[in-house]
Amino acid sequence: MQPLAFIDLETTGGTAALDRITEIGIVTVDAGGVAEWSTLVNPQTPIPPFIQKLTGIDDAMVAGAPVFAEVADAVQERLAGRLFIAHNARFDHGFLKSEFKRLGIDLKATVLCTVRLSRRLYPEEPRHGLDALIARHGLTVAARHRALDDARVIWHFWQKARAELSEARIDAEVAALTAQPKLPPQLDPNLAEEIPEGPGVYLFYGEDDQALYVGKSSGLRRRVLAHFGKARPSPREAALAEQVRRIDWIETGGELGTQLAEADLVRRLRPRHNRQPKVALSRAQLAPWPYGGPIAVREGAGLHLLDDWRYLGTADGEAAVPPLLAAERPPFDGHTYTLLVKHLAKPRVRVLRLTRN
């Protein structure tokens, strides 16, 4: 039988580039039997109160736990050569990939999502979340939202499905779900696994590293792969697939950072396949800048720096703020102006006023 690893993680939040792992649970299955392993992980950052309430894992519990670097070898040992199986698998795989990347290690695995598998095996069912699977298949769980217990549930679902359905049916669906995503032949096929799952901006480059296209998405990997492999691509998608020679991306903390980064890159790079936004505004139409100087808007772990309706850049910490404030201001951009007017009018936006030295 193919060696399997059923994985579940608990984390400090939902963004792999910004949040950290607090607990890992792995159930391994092979010809030698079933083995379980779990550990708390010190995320080296506070756990938000709502996450503590959801998981029962608080700062005191992880204070004496190992950091990820100290358990990385144990995790690798349990994943090596196994099918990586998780519920919403791109979440768990994305977090582990990010943690290993911080250590200079490229995690490679064939990934199977049991949400997608459940949808294929039980298409008549309306819900496929873990709680729905527990209720529908009569599965038991001792402590929901704890890593090892949830990993056990995924393993039990796997067993239940194989008892209810034919092995050939399940194997065919697994093969379809784990097939390598299609990329243009001139690109490295392993690139598909490197693209992160979270929000950000992606860039397609052609010959001589000329910018072809800049796009944005709340799910980078899903959106990038959607450009390729269609039976009937649009003329623009067909041209991009033929011309692209390199793909790059910038992860962001959320929607505002994604919108600002895309507008900035389109303005500066003028990609061949992007339509330049046409926002004609006279000075008389502009609202006055209400802050009297530069401000920062926090999103995730980043600080978006803004001044006079201009996007100055995103700082990943307070030390990165002064260089951005000291840099030459970008030209006024009508598209960025409209984005900021809409966002800053939201009632829950918190603004930090800054001063230039």
Q: Which sequence positions are flagged as catalytic?
A: 145
Task: Identify whether the C-beta of residue 68 lies closer than 8 Å to the C-beta of residue 10.
Answer: no
Residue 279 token pair: 């926002």
End-to-end CA distance of the chain: 65
Separation of alpha carbons 67 and 179, rounded Å = 33
Q: Can you tell me whether residue 110 is helix, strand or coil?
A: coil
Separation of alpha carbons 103 and 69, rounded Å = 7
Task: Identify whether the C-beta of residue 206 lies closer than 8 Å to the C-beta of residue 257.
Answer: no
Separation of alpha carbons 332 and 210, rounded Å = 24
List the 21-30 sheet strands across, edge first: 33-40, 21-30, 4-11, 83-86, 111-113
b/e map of 216-247 (b: 16 or more CB within 10 Å)?
Answer: bbebbbebbbebbeeeeeeeebebbbebbeeb
Please name which of 254, 232, 274, 262 lies closest in space to residue 333, comparing C-alpha atoms. Answer: 262
Separation of alpha carbons 308 and 319, rounded Å = 22
Separation of alpha carbons 4 and 84, rounded Å = 7
Residue 98 token pair: 């990010």
Q: Can you tell me whether residue 353 is helix, strand or coil?
A: strand
Residue 54 token pair: 């959801």
Quote the crossing angle between the two packed helices 114-121 and 167-177, to the nearest 10°: 130
- Torsion angle defined by CA atoms of residues 255, 224, 220 and 269, in that order, rounded to the nearest 10 degrees: -50
